[in-house]
Structure 1
Amino acid sequence: MGEAVLRELGEALERCQDQRYDRAWSMPRGFYIDPAVLALEREHLFLREWVCVGRVEELARPGDYLTFQICNEPVLLVRGEDGAIRAFSNVCRHRGALVAGGKGNRRRLVCPYHHWSYDTLGRLVGTPGIGEREDFDRRDCKLPEFACESWQGFLFVCCADRPPPLAPRLAALEARIGHYHLEQMALRYLADEVWETNWKCLVENFMEGYHLTPLHPETLHPVNPTRLCRHFEPGDAYFGYNAGFSPTLPRSQKGHPDLTDAEVDNCVMFALPPGLVVGCAGDYSSFLCVQPEATDRVRVKMGLIFFGADWPQDKVEWAVDLFQRTMAEDKAVLLQLMRGLNSRHHGAGPLAPADLEGPVLDFYKYLGARLAAPLQECR
């Protein structure tokens, strides 16, 4: 595979750039199973673009921290004494051990290996057993810092040097979802899983409504049936569709007072590639933070955020149960999908119209625009 696959993929993504939705086709199998493709995605997407790592409310107090892995970069986020959230390399400046794991609260971050310690500004403040040296001044030593932004309550990190700010690229999307006030929603469910599928399969699955009724007849079909899905125009850094709520669905909460009746009756499904997909609704919303670990393995940080404090526990439990059952159905079919993609008999197929699978083509266009240069070198 390798070079031949990259040439084939480059040609397929190039065709997508001007393709109509009613003439779109899926990608060749190498797009999902070839390690050379994943290497390009890691280098030119995940290590250069803004990657979502979680929610602001996970770091509510000074000293709160969480860790996240972006490709081979261990990342540590911490809220400082000044209230600001910063992102650092999670690699100790001594011998390279990870400074922290999981999440917690510490005013001083202590590496477990030799107890070198850092403050919440990333500065080295403790080096047990190492005194004054002419060739080393700990005041000049700190954890490397990454760019970090919050948008709509989501936390993003970029490993590239001096990346352009994220928010201006999302202005049109923010106008579409602003009344939902995702930044005011509270995290009530969070899980971390590893799925044995390609990361792009997971993004595509979340971002198309074609499968909602066929795959989820008892879970999502009564809530957001396929027939109520409507594609919307993508932007440079986002794409998505509207998934209307069934008119027979009882709703316990309506969300923020800014919402119109039409917005209350709609769920905005949007992606901020490469690593975030969101189901944005008035009462509560879902999200997945996606991070590839191999061609056939992806780590998924998934959560539910709720608007308002007056949620009965049984309603929260109902939402969590629905989400878990839906994710289980998606996971099962995506594991089977990887088996199909590995077959030598797999071939590209035509995509359904824009309202059903339009976001899949939008995803291809996003990837093609960012991978065009490195893929061109292989042709």
Structure 2
Amino acid sequence: MTLPILNLMPGDAPFRADPQNSYTLPARFYHDHAIWEAEKSAIFFKTWYYAGHVSQVAESGQFLTVKIHDQNVFVARSRTGELNAFYNVCPHRGHELVSGTGRKNIITCPYHAWAFDFDGTLKAARNTENVQGFRKEEFSLKPVKVEVFCGLVLVNLDAQAAPFADQMGELEKEIRHFVPSVDDLQFAQRDSYEVEANWKVLVDNFLECYHCAPAHKDFVDLVDMDSYRTITCGLYSSQCAGNPKTLNSRAYSFQPGEVDFGYAGWFVWPNFTIWAYPGEANLSVLQMNPTAPERCVEFQDWFVKDGVVTDQLRDAITYQIDVLQPEDIGLCESVQKGLKSSGYNQGRFVVDEGLTELSEHAVHHFQNLVAEALGAKLDPDYAP
């Protein structure tokens, strides 16, 4: 049953299908606990979730873990080379099996030492030979769908989910245009950020550059904003710019890479973004992981050639860590405070006919995906 707060309420202006005539989602979508709970099953347990990079699980026995709200999953390379994913829980008494990343000869539960192979089969369970009717095959690990896309490892808790690549249309083609050597990249590092804001505030912020000129002086010195365009495409959107304005911007200095461009970024439903900076081949993922209605953790994983960060790429990463991320986090945390104000409920999308760098049409695109997933009815003339 749809929660009443997901529908049009007194004081709400309509959220319309046309971004040029629409108000934003009401503020409660960014702090109400019931909506945050509804998102778990309606969004996160049905969509592809970024887990890590294939270079982290390249060899037999290597594993990585990922948490999707309260659901823990691990991904491991089997002895015969397959990549498998399972719920990270022992079927005996529910203990977590592994944590972090690493490599093992066998998956052994720390609680009672039940042992599992990397195909999920139970190999050993002490004293169960004395349990009447015990059958090992009843206690294999429960599998989770897993795929690799441009080196990214993705998992999905929905066993009926369509393949990620099928859902994403031209995304792979776009990424390979900007980073032709994407298959040669390896995991280099993860940076983490605790943010006091709803995860959707951070996605909204990524999806528009209306704020770039006043808030990101170094970024607009790096990127040719006249060529910066955002295009929405089903379950993703792209935001790319042409040639960089200069090789020696206030952000960082670099030499032209395998493809000359100023910046390329993609939002992937529901909660991660892919970045490519100019210069040497690189890719990164910035993921917004909800931890509470008004809190989230951002992970930014960096992938570079051979997993070695050169001086040039270190400058780009340092700019991201020291300048761009603090700027964006400060903006988002201030927005989160404002969303609780009695003086605010909704704004209007700023959308121009040319869909320029100042247009917020991609924010509407994302908010519409949220409304559709939740079954929200926010306009009497439009029922997603």
Q: Taking structure 1 as the reference length, what is the TM-score of the superposition?
A: 0.87
Q: Distance in 1 between matches of 2:78 and 2:130?
A: 28
- State the match for 2:190 in structure 1: 190
Q: Distance in 1 between matches of 2:307 and 2:119?
A: 36
- How far 1:190 moved relative to its partner? 1.2
- How far 1:210 moved relative to its partner? 1.7
Q: Distance in 2 between matches of 1:128 and 1:253?
A: 60
- How far 1:4 moved relative to its partner? 4.5
Among 151, 158, 161, the alignment partner of 1:160 is: 158
Amino acid at match of 2:270: P
Q: Distance in 2 between matches of 1:78 and 1:7?
A: 42
Please give the secondary structure, in 1, of the residue aligned with 2:8.
helix
Please give the secondary structure, in 2, of the residue aligned with 1:221.
helix
Amino acid at match of 2:101: K
- How far 1:74 moved relative to its partner? 0.7
Contact map agreement 1:13 1:368 (CA 8 A) in 2: no
- How far 1:29 moved relative to its partner? 0.7
Question: Structure 1 residue 221 and structure 2 residue 210: aligned?
Answer: no
Amino acid at match of 2:151: G
Q: Any gaps of 5 or more consecutive residues in structure 1?
A: none
- State the match for 2:314 in structure 1: 317
Q: Distance in 2 between matches of 1:225 and 1:87?
A: 41
Q: Distance in 1 between matches of 2:230 and 2:61?
A: 42
Cα distance 1:39–1:226, how it changes in 2: closer, same or farther (>3 A)? farther
- State the match for 1:115 in structure 2: 113
Amino acid at match of 1:192: S
Among 245, 248, 263, the alignment partner of 1:267 is: 263
- State the match for 1:53 in structure 2: 51
Among 357, 361, 374, the alignment partner of 1:358 is: 361
- How far 1:145 moved relative to its partner? 0.3
Q: Once the two structures are superposed, what CA deviation does each residue of 1:277-313 show, in whole Å capped at 9, x if it has no partner?
A: 112345323311222111111122212223x459773
Aligned residue pairs: how many? 366
Contact map agreement 1:16 1:361 (CA 8 A) in 2: no
Question: Structure 1 residue 252 and structure 2 residue 254: aligned?
Answer: yes
Cα distance 1:243–1:31, how it changes in 2: closer, same or farther (>3 A)? farther
63-72 or 204-213: bigger deviation: 204-213
Q: How many percent identity over aligned positions?
A: 25
Contact map agreement 1:292 1:299 (CA 8 A) in 2: yes
- State the match for 1:328 in structure 2: 326
Contact map agreement 1:192 1:302 (CA 8 A) in 2: yes
- How far 1:12 moved relative to its partner? 7.6
Cα distance 1:324–1:281, how it changes in 2: closer, same or farther (>3 A)? closer
- State the match for 2:200 in structure 1: 200
- State the match for 1:176 in structure 2: 174
Contact map agreement 1:14 1:368 (CA 8 A) in 2: no
Amino acid at match of 1:366: L
Contact map agreement 2:7 2:376 (CA 8 A) in 1: no
311-320 or 270-279: bigger deviation: 311-320
- How far 1:65 moved relative to its partner? 0.7
Q: Once the two structures are superposed, what CA deviation does each residue of 1:1-50 show, in whole Å capped at 9, x if it has no partner?
A: x94431138x9898432x04x33432211110111211221111100111
Amino acid at match of 1:149: E
Q: Distance in 2 between matches of 1:374 and 1:352?
A: 22
Amino acid at match of 1:41: E
Contact map agreement 2:53 2:186 (CA 8 A) in 1: no
175-184 or 359-368: bigger deviation: 175-184
- State the match for 1:90 in structure 2: 88
- State the match for 2:68 in structure 1: 70
Contact map agreement 1:213 1:226 (CA 8 A) in 2: no
- State the match for 1:231 in structure 2: 230
Q: Once the two structures are superposed, what CA deviation does each residue of 1:189-226 show, in whole Å capped at 9, x if it has no partner?
A: 212333221010111112221222221223x2222264
Q: Taking structure 2 as the reference length, what is the TM-score of the superposition?
A: 0.86
Contact map agreement 2:55 2:187 (CA 8 A) in 1: yes
Q: Any gaps of 5 or more consecutive residues in structure 2?
A: none
- State the match for 1:126 in structure 2: 124
- State the match for 2:375 in structure 1: 372
Cα distance 1:300–1:310, how it changes in 2: closer, same or farther (>3 A)? closer
Cα distance 1:309–1:43, how it changes in 2: closer, same or farther (>3 A)? closer
Q: Distance in 2 between matches of 1:300 and 1:317?
A: 20
Amino acid at match of 2:117: D
Please give the secondary structure, in 2, of the residue aligned with 1:192.
strand
Cα distance 1:14–1:167, how it changes in 2: closer, same or farther (>3 A)? farther
Contact map agreement 1:212 1:224 (CA 8 A) in 2: no
- State the match for 1:26 in structure 2: 24
Q: Distance in 2 between matches of 1:312 and 1:161?
A: 37
- State the match for 2:42 in structure 1: 44
Please give the secondary structure, in 2, of the residue aligned with 1:222.
helix
- State the match for 2:342 in structure 1: 344
- How far 1:76 moved relative to its partner? 0.8
Cα distance 1:312–1:374, how it changes in 2: closer, same or farther (>3 A)? closer
75-84 or 239-248: bigger deviation: 239-248
Q: Distance in 2 between matches of 1:99 and 1:125?
A: 14
Q: Distance in 2 between matches of 1:375 and 1:294?
A: 24
